[in-house]
Amino acid sequence: MKDERQALEDLRQEVALHNRRYHVLDDPLISDGEYDRLYRDLVALEAKHPEWLSADSPTQRVGDSPREGFSTVEHVVPMLSLDNGMDREQVEAFDSRIKRLLETEDDIAYTAEPKYDGVACELLYEQGALVLGSTRGDGRAGEDVTHNLRTVRSIPLRLEGQAVPDRLEVRGEVFMTLAGFDALNRSRMEQGLEPFANPRNSTAGTLRQLDPRSAAERPLDIFVYGIGRAEPDLGVATHRELMERLAGLGFKVNPRMHRGVGIAGAIGFHESLEHDRDDLPYEVDGSVIKADDFALRERLGTLNRSPRWALAFKFAPRQETTRLVDIRSYVGRTGTLTPVAVLEPVRIGGVTVVHASLHNQDEVDRLDVRVGDTVFVERAGDVIPKIVKVVTDARPRRTRRYRLPEKCPVCGSVTLRLEGEVARRCPNLECPAQVKERLRHFASRGGLDIDGLGEKLIDQLVERGAVRRPSDLLDLDLATLVSLDRMGEKSSENLLASIERARQTTLTRVLNALGIRHVGERVAEVIAESYRDLGKLLDASQADIEGIEEVGPVIAESVRLFLDDPANRSEVDRLRERLQIAPPAPRAEGPSGVEGATFVLTGTLSEPRAELEKRIKSLGGKVKNSVSKRTDYVVAGNRAGSKRDRAEELGVEILDEDALRALLEAE
Ligand code: IVH
């Protein structure tokens, strides 16, 4: 018995080793056939002894039961974003700023590595075993996708080597190789499924599958580039040492990495990466330049959720030519028809582009773009692709100028172009396209911010007749939600919980959510501040509304027209019954920022602390001694120590003295 147990352990180690040689190091020691034999032997032995089954066995990558939904994972150390640099000058400015902040003229040691275009994830290991895997989400919290990350062959289920830390959070980018992506799309098309637009979408889509068996079939991969918590400390002082340590623990670290003193070397790395870009087996949208030394990083700190010690150096935007095969029009929230170009698929900057917005009739006329034309399309970063030019020489014969349709493409109503307006619109408020867009806007971030109510869900709700107007969203119940495609009990409950949360809202949000023409977040805010109560606004005259600073006659008329419409009025009443609408917080002089915010001052500051405290307090801010989740700003002077660390850990914004002064002066 004992021998068999030992044999099982040995076999597990052997399979894990060859798995790692193949998937992590890309340097197999045995043939695929031999590996398969070992693997089958292990499966057989485990089947014989189910009592010895262990979650970190290499046979246990794919769990057998699909999940019901996703739970949220809070990142103990927030996962930050990166500032972008678009050209050499901006990268040099980044370097100069670092030197200025560190008060040095010496060159800085940098590392540079590819910026992968995938999904950032965090892996938690306890006593060497992978116990939790999550997506970055908004940086503070993401989704638990452990079941899918376990299927990624290059992610170790158990850490290797000596001195395995008790607890370790490793961060990296999960992505799909281009070859894997192409194969996946080919097979999807054969099955009559919609192909994914790019490897990043397919990665994100795969990680969001409930059943790990789908993820297991897809070619996901990872490169790690950092850590969160490590207990005990890994005892490394630089990024390069960290990467070596992580490789030693069994993680996949990209050998394509630069380290050198001075920014020029990092720029050189970037240029050579851009040169090789099309030959790389995975998608890259730039390079990431990082100060190598952790002690320097600490001194530099973070600003607005991005570290001052790192920069994403993006590749230049790309242009391609392609043929425009059709122009379609889409109906937005206010009924506006937007012409959209349908293109012959073209790869630009790593993404297959098939659509580009033409904005409105004037833009179509300005470009004189016609169906059949060859056009220049540009894609810059994540921005919607745009048509920059028509190659008129290549225009086929007998093309026609494009005009937006006289009838709404969704509901067939006669469309109107009002005098003095660029937009042509569908006047039918019941038009399904408008209804969906209004609901989307209502639930969006600046509106009621109903988490988890996505586009697809709204489409389904409208198409099934479950929801017609925004207030209907507040009456949704479990039975309705569970009956929708792709909604399990868990996700339905989560959605109901976010709807409950959204009920406690503010007047600003409600005003913005209503989707009144010309009333965006800012206007909603000033109107809310002035009326403070929805009832009062309902009774206000147009002249009254126009009296608010920043509100002109056009806005005032639009608000009055909206509120005078009986259907809108009854919707507002229904919302008032269903929501708890708080007035905006009362305000002293000056805009928000300091008002109501909690500050902690730390380190050596050039002005007496008491002086700064007085100024903060005079503007309505509070000054506290210790950093907590409720702290809004930590002002860090020279040699700021543990409070600054705590702030970083909690993702609290860290200001230097200059930033504080700017904030105080802005008031
Ligand atoms: S370092 C604060 N290294 O870029 C440091 N990030 O905009 C943050 N990313 O969400 C991460 N490749 O998904 C780092 N080599 C790399 C990266 C990388 C891609 C992504 C990552 C993050 C985003 C930040």
Residue 602's pLDDT is what?
A: 86
Q: Cβ-count burial of 463 within 10 angstroms (0-12 exposed, 13-18 middle, 19+ buried)? A: exposed
**C-alpha span between 468 and 135 (Å, rounded):** 34
Cβ atoms 171, 121 nearer than 8 A: yes
The structure tokens 């169906």 sit at 371
628 or 259, greater pLDDT: 259
Whole-number Å distance, alpha carbon 659 to ligand 1 midpoint, is 25
Closest listed residue to residue 287, CA positions, set 89, 86, 139: 86
- Residue 317 reports pLDDT greater than 90: no
Beta bridge partners of 435: none
Phi, psi of 303 (to 5 degrees): -140, 130
263 or 612, greater pLDDT: 263
Closest residue by CA, ligand 1 atom 9: 115
What's the average model confidence in pLDDT over 454-463? Answer: 93
Return the axis-axis angle of helices 657-666 and 609-618, rounded to nearest 10°: 30
652 or 403, greater pLDDT: 403
196 or 588, greater pLDDT: 196
How many CA atoms lie within 13 Å of 30's alpha carbon, on the beta-carbon side? 15
Residue 288's pLDDT is what?
A: 98
The structure tokens 């590996």 sit at 35
> What is the atom index within ligand 1 of the atom nearest the CA of 114?
15
CA angle 462/467/472 to nearest 5° reads: 155
- Residue 460 reports pLDDT greater than 80: yes
Confidence of residue 590 (pLDDT cuts 50, 70, 90): very low
Is residue 648 lining ligand 1, measured as CB closer than 6 Å?
A: no
> What is the atom index within ligand 1 of the atom nearest the CA of 113?
15
> What is the atom index within ligand 1 of the atom nearest the CA of 120?
13
593 or 155, greater pLDDT: 155
Whole-number Å distance, alpha carbon 649 to ligand 1 midpoint, is 17
CATH 1.10.150.20 fits 432-502, yes or no: yes
Phi, psi of 199 (to 5 degrees): -60, -30
Share of the chain above pLDDT 90, in %: 65
Contacts of residue 454, defined as CB under 8 A and 6 or more positions apart, other chains included, come to none
Task: Tell me the range of 191-200, 293-302, 643-652 where mean pLDDT is highest.
Answer: 293-302
DSSP letters spanning 222-233: EEEEEEEEEES-
**C-alpha span between 562 and 523 (Å, rounded):** 15
pLDDT tens digits for range 85-112: 989 999 999 999 999 999 999 999 999 9
Whole-number Å distance, alpha carbon 321 to ligand 1 midpoint, is 31
Confidence of residue 589 (pLDDT cuts 50, 70, 90): very low
Q: How does the average pLDDT of the chain come out, rounded? A: 91
Is residue 136 lining ligand 1, measured as CB closer than 6 Å?
A: yes
What's the average model confidence in pLDDT over 433-452? Answer: 93
CATH 2.60.40.10 fits 507-582, yes or no: no
Closest residue by CA, ligand 1 atom 15: 115
Residue 617's pLDDT is what?
A: 86
Is residue 297 lining ligand 1, measured as CB closer than 6 Å?
A: no
Confidence of residue 656 (pLDDT cuts 50, 70, 90): confident
Closest residue by CA, ligand 1 atom 23: 81
- Residue 254 in tokens: 């990209």
CA distances to 105, 314, 411 from 361, in Å: 55, 33, 20
Is residue 513 lining ligand 1, measured as CB closer than 6 Å?
A: no
Q: In what order do the strands lie in the sheet with 119-126?
A: 129-135, 119-126, 167-176, 220-231
**Element counts in the chain: helices (H) and strands (E):** 25, 24
Confidence of residue 646 (pLDDT cuts 50, 70, 90): confident
- Residue 21 in tokens: 């040689």
How many CA atoms lie within 13 Å of 310's alpha carbon, on the beta-carbon side? 26
Residue 382's pLDDT is what?
A: 52
pLDDT tens digits for range 11-21: 999 999 999 99
CA quadruple 442, 445, 450, 456: dihedral positive or negative?
positive
Task: Tell me the range of 113-127, 532-546, 552-566 where mean pLDDT is highest.
Answer: 113-127
Please report, for the chain, the start and end positions of each structural domain, with discontinuous segments joined by +: 2-53, 84-314, 319-394, 432-502, 507-582, 598-666
Contacts of residue 245, defined as CB under 8 A and 6 or more positions apart, other chains included, come to 234, 236
Is residue 310 lining ligand 1, measured as CB closer than 6 Å?
A: yes
Contacts of residue 261, defined as CB under 8 A and 6 or more positions apart, other chains included, come to 107, 108, 109, 110
DSSP letters spanning 581-620: EEPPPP--SS-BTTBT-EEEEESB-SS-HHHHHHHHHHTT
DSSP letters spanning 444-484: STTTT--TT--HHHHHHHHHTTS-SSHHHHTT--HHHHHTS
Beta bridge partners of 85: 313
Largest separation between any pair of C-alpha atoms in the chain = 91
- Residue 461 reports pLDDT greater than 90: yes
pLDDT tens digits for range 359-418: 899 999 999 999 999 999 987 555 678 898 999 999 999 999 999 999 999 999 999 988
- Residue 490 reports pLDDT greater than 80: yes
Closest residue by CA, ligand 1 atom 2: 80
Q: What is 319-394's CATH topology?
A: OB fold (Dihydrolipoamide Acetyltransferase, E2P) (2.40.50)
**C-alpha span between 401 and 365 (Å, rounded):** 8
Phi, psi of 504 (to 5 degrees): -80, 100
Residue 654's pLDDT is what?
A: 87
Whole-number Å distance, alpha carbon 414 to ligand 1 midpoint, is 49
Residue 279's pLDDT is what?
A: 83
Closest residue by CA, ligand 1 atom 17: 115
Closest residue by CA, ligand 1 atom 10: 120
What's the average model confidence in pLDDT over 342-361? Answer: 88
SS3 content of the chain, % helix, strand, coil (to 5): 40, 25, 40
How many CA atoms lie within 13 Å of 2's alpha carbon, on the beta-carbon side? 0
Equal fold, 432-502 vs 598-666: no
600 or 120, greater pLDDT: 120
Closest residue by CA, ligand 1 atom 3: 225
409 or 66, greater pLDDT: 409
CA distances to 252, 588, 621, 657, 664 from 617, in Å: 50, 12, 5, 16, 11
> What is the atom index within ligand 1 of the atom nearest the CA of 225?
3
- Strand 318-331 relative to strand 374-379, pairing: antiparallel
**C-alpha span between 176 and 180 (Å, rounded):** 6
What's the average model confidence in pLDDT over 167-183? Answer: 94
Is residue 81 lining ligand 1, measured as CB closer than 6 Å?
A: yes
Q: Cβ-count burial of 166 within 10 angstroms (0-12 exposed, 13-18 middle, 19+ buried)? A: exposed
Residue 588's pLDDT is what?
A: 42
Residue 518's pLDDT is what?
A: 86
Residue 604's pLDDT is what?
A: 82
Matching CATH number, 598-666, of 3.40.50.1100, 3.40.50.10190, 2.70.150.10, 1.20.120.920: 3.40.50.10190
Classify domain 2-53 by CATH number: 1.10.287.610
- Residue 1 reports pLDDT greater than 80: no
Contacts of residue 302, defined as CB under 8 A and 6 or more positions apart, other chains included, come to 80, 308, 648, 653, 654
Whole-number Å distance, alpha carbon 494 to ligand 1 midpoint, is 29
Q: 3-state SS string over 640-666?
A: CCHHHHHHHHHCCEEECHHHHHHHHHH
Is residue 307 lining ligand 1, measured as CB closer than 6 Å?
A: yes
pLDDT tens digits for range 14-58: 999 999 999 999 888 998 889 999 999 999 999 999 999 888 899
Cβ atoms 663, 655 nearer than 8 A: yes
**CATH second-level architecture of 84-314?**
2-Layer Sandwich (3.30)
Is residue 173 lining ligand 1, measured as CB closer than 6 Å?
A: yes
Cβ atoms 468, 435 nearer than 8 A: yes
pLDDT tens digits for range 181-195: 988 888 887 887 877
Is residue 120 lining ligand 1, measured as CB closer than 6 Å?
A: yes
What residues are annotated to the active site? Answer: 115
Start-to-end CA span in the chain (Å)? 77
Is residue 273 lining ligand 1, measured as CB closer than 6 Å?
A: no
Is residue 377 lining ligand 1, measured as CB closer than 6 Å?
A: no
Residue 380's pLDDT is what?
A: 59
Residue 46's pLDDT is what?
A: 93
DSSP letters spanning 293-320: BHHHHHHH-EETTEETTEEEEEPPPEEE
